[in-house]
Amino acid sequence: MHRSETALGLLWPILDNLSTAVLAFDKELRLLFINPAGENLLAMSRKQAEGLLLNTLMPQATALTEKLKDVLKQGHMFTEYQTTLFINATRTIAVDYTVTPFGQSADEQYLLLELTDIDRHAQITREEHRLSQYEISREIVRGLAHEIKNPLGGLRGAAQLLETELPDPALKEYTDVIISEADRLQNLLNRMLGPNTLPHKEDINIHQVLEHVRTLVLAEAGDSLIIKRDYDPSIPMLHVDADQMVQVILNITRNAAQALEGKGTITFATRADRYITIGGKRHKLALRLEIRDDGPGIPADMVEKIFYPMVSMSANGSGLGLAIAQSLLHQHGGAVECSSEPKNTIFSITLPLTTGGDQT
Ligand SMILES: Nc1ncnc2c1ncn2[C@@H]1O[C@H](COP(=O)(O)OP(=O)(O)OP(=O)(O)O)[C@@H](O)[C@H]1O
Ligand SMILES: [Mg+2]
């Protein structure tokens, strides 16, 4: 008795947290129930969807409708792998699905439809692979930076000693070059090594961070740059390291300002997203922050490469800005993606939000 009550209580959270879309229909093929993964898949809320007939929900899914009718007639479950589901005139998705009939009697027949979005799965696998590639390359760069740092300190120290022993003060010009170039390299190496302190996480308002970066970038860029805000004020506090978040957003925004050569529009847009998978982990609620610009864009063959360290297309760039941004986001359980076409480049950051139970 006790056990079944517990089991029943668990049922709703289980359905809510499944990554598989679950839909239940009556024998007229009217939707009785849809879980959040189903809402995501159909891009429709439970309120909009429940009570609708299957052919209203997915007007183009005629093959699926026929299958459901078949299952009702035969009373046997049915599974189809890797099939294309036509949701409506503009949306098709690749899915695996299973239809299971259930019910007490011939009058009370119901159907359970489980759908797995295989495109989304393949995309997550590809993303994980790419992330591990970025991580490996960052480790190589860090290892190299470490190796160079010590002898460089020695070189600089020796140049300083030499400077004090020079017979002719005019020769100081040369030791100055050694010292200043060593300092420049040292700065580069420090950037390559990344922050050496643990993140100090606190509750922050993302919009305050954005406003801070906005002020900095506008001060650097001058009057011809516009930074628009499209903020969702209802977004809860983020639990992150504030300085590191400033660095992430600054690195991305500075790139946009550089691409625009100081002339154009950047937009900061924030949204709360439900049921998001980041790096293979599912979160009930996540922040989506888009940093868009209407600059020339990034060539298609470069979009994935720009997150690697030392990849730069600018004359005086070190190619570390995005690698650092990605690594910092990673440490916060977040991610960043880029999509680009001329006049519309979007860097999209996702970060888990602490409220809503976090990982499931
Ligand atoms: N919004 C953008 N529009 C066009 N190109 C971009 C944009 N953002 C990044 N890029 C390209 O990606 C490259 C890599 O950026 P990243 O910030 O990693 O390095 P960088 O800006 O060259 O150097 P650093 O940031 O270390 O000074 C840039 O050189 C630039 O060519
Ligand atoms: Mg940069």
Q: Could you tell me the two tokens for 60? A: 């183009």
CB 102 within 8 A of CB 274: no
Residue 314 has pLDDT above 90, yes or no: no
Task: Record the pTM.
Answer: 0.74
Domain definitions of the chain by residue range: 2-117, 198-360
Instruction: Determine the average pLDDT of the residues in 180-207.
Output: 90
Ligand 1 within 6 A of CB of 265: no
CA dihedral in degrees (300, 303, 305, 307; nearest 10)?
180
Confidence band for 354, pLDDT divided at 50, 70 and 90: low
Distance CA 58, CA 21 (A): 14
Q: Could you tell me the two tokens for 21? A: 């879309």
CA of 323 to the centre of ligand 1 (A): 10
Q: Can you tell me which residue has the tokens 């009057």? A: 223
CA of 314 to the centre of ligand 2 (A): 9
What pLDDT is attached to residue 77? Answer: 93
Q: Is 244 exposed, middle or buried (0-12, 13-18, 19+ CB in 10 A)?
A: buried
CB 284 within 8 A of CB 360: yes
Residue 357 has pLDDT above 50, yes or no: no
Ligand 1 within 6 A of CB of 255: yes
Atom of ligand 1 nearest to the CA of 256: 1
Per the prediction, the chain carries an average pLDDT of 90
CA of 214 to the centre of ligand 2 (A): 16
CB 113 within 8 A of CB 99: yes
* CATH architecture type of domain 2-117: 2-Layer Sandwich (3.30)
Ligand 1 within 6 A of CB of 318: yes
Ligand 1 within 6 A of CB of 248: no
CATH topology assigned to domain 198-360? Heat Shock Protein 90 (3.30.565)
Nearest CA to ligand 1 atom 9: 255
Distance CA 91, CA 84 (A): 10
Residue 360 has pLDDT above 70, yes or no: no
Q: How does DSSP assign 208-251, residue by residue?
A: HHHHHHHHHHHHHH-TTEEEEEE--TTPPPEEEEHHHHHHHHHH
Residue from 306, 310, 318, 339 to probe ligand 1 pocket by mutation (most atoms less than 8 Å from CB): 306
Q: Is 336 exposed, middle or buried (0-12, 13-18, 19+ CB in 10 A)?
A: buried
Instruction: Tell me which ligand sits closest to the C-alpha of residue 187.
Output: 1
Nearest CA to ligand 1 atom 1: 256
Confidence band for 3, pLDDT divided at 50, 70 and 90: low
- Spatial neighbors of 322 by CB under 8 A, at least 6 apart, are 251, 252, 255, 306, 307, 336
Instruction: Determine the average pLDDT of the residues in 200-209.
Output: 95
Instruction: Tell me which ligand sits closest to the C-alpha of residue 311.
Output: 1
CB 201 within 8 A of CB 333: no
Element (H, E) at 113: strand 110-117
